[in-house]
Amino acid sequence: MTLFKPTLLLNRIVVFKDGETAFDASFHMGVNIIRGHNSSGKTTVLDFIAYTLGAEYIPWKQEALLCDYSVAEVSLNGNPVTFRREVNDKPMNPLYIFWGSMDVALSAPFSSWEVFGFRRSSSRLSFTQAILQALDLPEAQGDGASNLTMHQFLRVLYADQPSLHSPIFRNDSFDSA
């Protein structure tokens, strides 16, 4: 299979609770299907994926909020990178990035992870900027000269699909379509 740039691939996601693995799934190139009975956690898995990759305003189920953090290994233009995000219902949590595989990241000291906030500051990149730089993408600006965020990119790719009539984009109060 040919790898086109920019390419972001999800390789694996692990969710932790009290230092133990609560969920662990690996993914492969191409179509991956998450299946299960009603109320078995399929939407919660999608919520963890979206959140760990940088989405905001996840409608967490109470069981999901019992977890501590999630870790995802992605390939950015073929290079393994690991993301970690604390699970809670607070807005704009930072993203911790380890510039290597999950196996190495999970055994590395936490000081070797870089922390990136949801928003940029005068002295710090946001996690969206760090990811876009790793993908060799220029920053993209939306209406009013605000920069697009990973949350906005993911809104295009991910929408909760509870019925055939659900919209493609998730509604967010802080920005317009």
User: How many alpha carbons fall within 13 Å on the CB side of residue 125?
Assistant: 14
Cα-Cα-Cα-Cα torsion 168, 55, 120, 108, nearest 10 degrees, comes to -150
Say what the pTM is.
Answer: 0.83
Q: What is the rounded average pLDDT of the residues 51-62?
A: 90
Q: Is the pLDDT of residue 168 over 50?
A: no
Residue pair 140/148 in contact by the 8 Å Cβ criterion: yes
69 CB neighbour count, 10 Å cutoff: 16
Looking at per-residue pLDDT, the higher value among 43 and 88 belongs to: 88
In 18-94, the DSSP E strands lie at 20-26, 69-76, 79-86
- Counting residues of the chain whose pLDDT is more than 90, the rounded percentage is 52
More confident residue, 91 or 169: 91
pLDDT score of 30: 86
Mean pLDDT is lowest, of 5-9, 77-81, 134-138, 162-166, for 162-166
What number is the average pLDDT over the span 150-164? Answer: 58
Residue 20: what pLDDT?
97
Mean pLDDT of the chain: 84
Which sign, positive or negative, has the C-alpha torsion 45, 53, 166, 88?
Answer: positive
pLDDT of 36: 86
Spatial distance between the Cα atoms of 116 and 61, rounded to a whole number of angstroms: 26
The closest alpha carbon to 99, from 126, 80, 74, belongs to: 80
What is the rounded average pLDDT of the residues 125-152?
77
Mean pLDDT calculated for residue range 22-29: 95
| Comparison of pLDDT for 149 and 173, the residue scoring more | 149
